[in-house]
Amino acid sequence: MPNFAGMKKRYFLFVIAATIVLFISIHWKSEPTKLMVQKQPEPCFLLLSDVHLNSFAKTCNYGDDTGMDLWNNLKSKLKSIFDGKNPPKFIIYTGDLPAHYKCDQNCYLPPNARAEHNANLVKILEDLRKLVAEHHIPLFYVPGNNDALAGDYYSFTDSSYQTIFDLINEKEMPYPALNVASSGNKPPYLEWKGSHTVSFYDHDNKPTQKIIETGYYSAEIMPKLRIIVLNSVILGKNYFNVDGMTQRDEGNEEISWLKSELMEAKILKEKVYIAMHIPPGTDAYAFDHQSTQPYMWAHLPSETNTWLDQFLRLTSTYQSTISGIFYGHTHMDELRRIYDSTGTKITAVAISCPGITPQHYNNSGFKLVYYDSSNFQPVDFETFYSTPTAASWGNLSYRFSDIFHETKGMTLFDCVKNQPLPNLNIEMDSIYTVMNGPSGYNTSPGIEVKPGE
């Protein structure tokens, strides 16, 4: 008779053994796979602004423009980031290169008084070019109000039809877009916008022609991502022009060009970053100090249809195309909520870059902006900061997601648009001066950008 009890026992032992072998097999096969899978670093870009370099000063303190010690410390810090495990894909510099100079309401600089101003421009332009050339990182320059040859808030082209780029040798890697690959005979930017061509006689009394460069352009950052660089100095309330055009004509032309760029980007299914120096909306400092004109942009072309109103209509119409708006000028770490033309719906969040200069009694700061690679929406930023007198830049920083309590998976836009204004103001005020104490005044008027401002 078969020994069924023994057979059952042997079968039971076989099943146990097979289970153990299968477990070991799965364990040893899966373990190397787990070790090979690594979390991909978040793609990011560098946002830099308002260096205001005084190349004639070695040191600086709060209330001063950037001296050479601070500038060299910054360059060392940036090099360490560029050489790190997750270097930025590109750089946006949102304007204001040279140190301020003393002036009254009219800050015109005659050609015979530009030596120091021009020397500061040449130094920072050449240093920036060396920095990005060494690391092969694209850099996109945005015109600031201090960058024009003719003086603060003046037209990008002066009365002699010269711009800041005429101060330096540009044969190999030309501004405004550095390290951007050209395609065939196409320049490394889609359009360096010129208003019109002028005829004149040069220094040798020879007839010549030149395009009036107005400082705004668009470029391909990477496939399916376009940057539209505005010269918002033209749109600003303090603009002076010496290039032969009126502010109204130049501003109307720029807004019309912006519309055509956004329309083209939408047709090509591209995403867009808009970069500018002077942001739209209200200057919180001027508002708090009861200025009669606290708004940033001029009320042109008319009181009922300003450039701001037109801009808000465009950002609303092309909300799905615009992935980010970035600016400088205020020197502070702030955010602005962009509304539609009715002033009821938030359509975008504009992100500032704090200044390197500590002139406004802020700590020096710059940002790495992290974005979703599928749609280029900003999901976080990290602000790196330093005191102006530090021996080296150091490792001080803070994250947007920590300050504004962003939950995982939210974009920066989703986080900011859903917060009550008082809460948003408290959180922004904690970082406004880049961690050099609270602002000392109410920053909330500068957060909301609505029609009529």
Listed residue (348, 335, 327) closest to 262, CA to CA: 348
Residue 13 placed within a domain:
no
Residue 17 placed within a domain:
no
Residue 285 placed within a domain:
yes
270: number of Cβ within 10 Å:
19
Q: Which two tokens stand for residue 318?
A: 């092309």
Output the CA torsion sign for 353, 359, 362, 365. Answer: positive
Q: How many domains does the chain have?
A: 1
As a whole number of angstroms, the distance between CA 39 and CA 436 comes to: 34
Place of tokens 């280029």: 376
For residues 233 and 145, is the Cβ–Cβ distance under 8 A? Answer: yes
Q: Please give the single-letter amino acid code of residue 285.
A: Y
As a whole number of angstroms, the distance between CA 362 and CA 246 comes to: 35
Residue 400 placed within a domain:
yes
Q: Is the pLDDT of residue 66 over 60?
A: yes
Q: What is the pLDDT of residues 211-221, one digit of tens each?
A: 778 999 999 99
* Residue 169 confidence (pLDDT): 80
When the pLDDT of each residue in the chain is averaged and rounded to a whole number, the result is 89
Q: Is the pLDDT of residue 129 over 60?
A: yes
CATH code of the domain containing 339: 3.60.21.10
End-to-end CA distance of the chain: 101
Residue 8 placed within a domain:
no
* Residue 193 confidence (pLDDT): 64
Q: What share of the chain is helix, strand, coil (3-state, %, to 5)?
A: 30, 25, 45
Q: What is the pLDDT of residues 86-107, one digit of tens each?
A: 999 999 999 999 999 998 778 9
* Residue 212 confidence (pLDDT): 77
Listed residue (271, 238, 235, 225) closest to 255, CA to CA: 235
Range of the domain at 205: 44-449
* Residue 196 confidence (pLDDT): 63
Residue 24 placed within a domain:
no
Residue 313 placed within a domain:
yes
Q: Is the pLDDT of residue 32 over 50?
A: no
- What are the residue ranges of helices labelled H in 195-331? 247-267, 284-288, 307-317
As a whole number of angstroms, the distance between CA 446 and CA 444 comes to: 5
Listed residue (243, 234, 319, 235) closest to 274, CA to CA: 319
As a whole number of angstroms, the distance between CA 192 and CA 169 comes to: 18
- What are the residue ranges of helices labelled H in 333-431? 400-403, 412-417, 421-431
Q: Which of 33-37, 141-145, 168-172, 359-363 has the lowest mean pLDDT?
A: 33-37
* Residue 202 confidence (pLDDT): 65
Q: What is the pLDDT of residues 257-295, one digit of tens each?
A: 999 999 999 999 999 999 999 999 999 999 999 898 899
Q: Which two tokens stand for residue 288?
A: 């708090």
* Residue 104 confidence (pLDDT): 78
Residue 274 placed within a domain:
yes
Q: What is the pLDDT of residues 373-421, one digit of tens each?
A: 999 999 999 999 999 999 999 999 999 999 999 888 789 999 999 999 9
As a whole number of angstroms, the distance between CA 332 and CA 435 comes to: 10
